[in-house]
Amino acid sequence: MSDLGVAADSSRTGSDDLAAIIRKVAWRLMPLIMICYLFAFFDRINISFAKFQLQSDLGLSDTAYGLGASLFVIGYVLFEVPSNLFLYKVGARRWIARIMISWGLATAAMVFVNNEWQFYGLRFVIGAMEAGFAPGVLYYLTLWFPTAYRGRITSMLFLASAFSGLVGAPLAGLVIGHLDGALGMPGWHWLFLLGGMPCIVLGVLVLLLLKDRIEDAGWLSATEKTVLSAQIAQQSRHPASGHSLIGALKTPGFLTLGLVYFLIQIASYGLNFWAPHLIHVAGTKNPTVVGLLTAVPYVCGAICMVVVGRLSDASGERRKFVFGLLLMSAIGFFAAGYFDKQTALLVVALAVMGAGVVASIPAFWALPPKLLAGAGAAGGIALINTLGQLGGIVSPVMVGRVKDLTGSTTPALYVIGVLSVVCALIVQYGLPESLRRRETETAQG
SS (HEC) of 289-306: HHHHHHHHHHHHHHHHHH
Determine if residue 283 is left, alpha or beta; phi over 0 gives left, psi from -120 to 50 gives alpha, anything else beta: left
Q: Is the pLDDT of residue 250 over 70?
A: no
User: Domain locations in the chain?
Assistant: 26-444
> What does the DSSP assignment read for 66-97?
HHHHHHHHHHHHHHHHHHHHHHHHH-HHHHHH
Q: Is the pLDDT of residue 334 over 90?
A: yes
Q: Is the pLDDT of residue 330 over 90?
A: yes
pLDDT of residue 228: 86
Say if CB 82 and CB 90 are below 8 A apart. no
Mean pLDDT of 119-146: 86
Mean pLDDT of 4-12: 42
Higher pLDDT, 157 or 145: 145
Mean pLDDT of 152-161: 75
pLDDT of residue 351: 94
Integer angstrom CA distances of residue 306 from 157, 363, 366, 444: 10, 10, 14, 22
Higher pLDDT, 80 or 244: 80
Instruction: For residue 376, name the pLDDT band (cuts at 50, 70, 90).
Output: low
Q: Is the pLDDT of residue 312 over 50?
A: yes
pLDDT of residue 405: 81
How far apart CA 149 and CA 161 sit, in angstroms, is 19
Higher pLDDT, 16 or 176: 176
Mean pLDDT of 299-303: 86
pLDDT of residue 10: 43
Mean pLDDT of 1-13: 43
Which one, of 149, 367, 132, 418, lies nearest residue 261 by Cα? 367
> What does the DSSP assignment read for 17-35?
HHHHHHHHHHHHHHHHHHH
DSSP 181: T
pLDDT of residue 6: 39
How far apart CA 199 and CA 208 sit, in angstroms, is 14
C-alpha dihedral (316, 13, 225, 93), degrees to nearest 10: 30
Q: Is the pLDDT of residue 102 over 90?
A: yes
Lowest-confidence segment of 13-27, 116-130, 314-328 by average pLDDT:
13-27
- Provide the percentage of residues in the chain whose pLDDT is more than 90: 17
Instruction: For residue 329, name the pLDDT band (cuts at 50, 70, 90).
Output: very high
Q: Is the pLDDT of residue 378 over 70?
A: no
State if pTM tops 0.85: no
Average pLDDT over the chain, rounded to an integer: 80
How far apart CA 319 and CA 327 sit, in angstroms, is 13
pLDDT of residue 445: 52
Query: Is 26-444 a domain of CATH 1.20.1250.20?
Result: yes
Task: Give pLDDT tens digits for 21-32.
Answer: 888 888 889 999
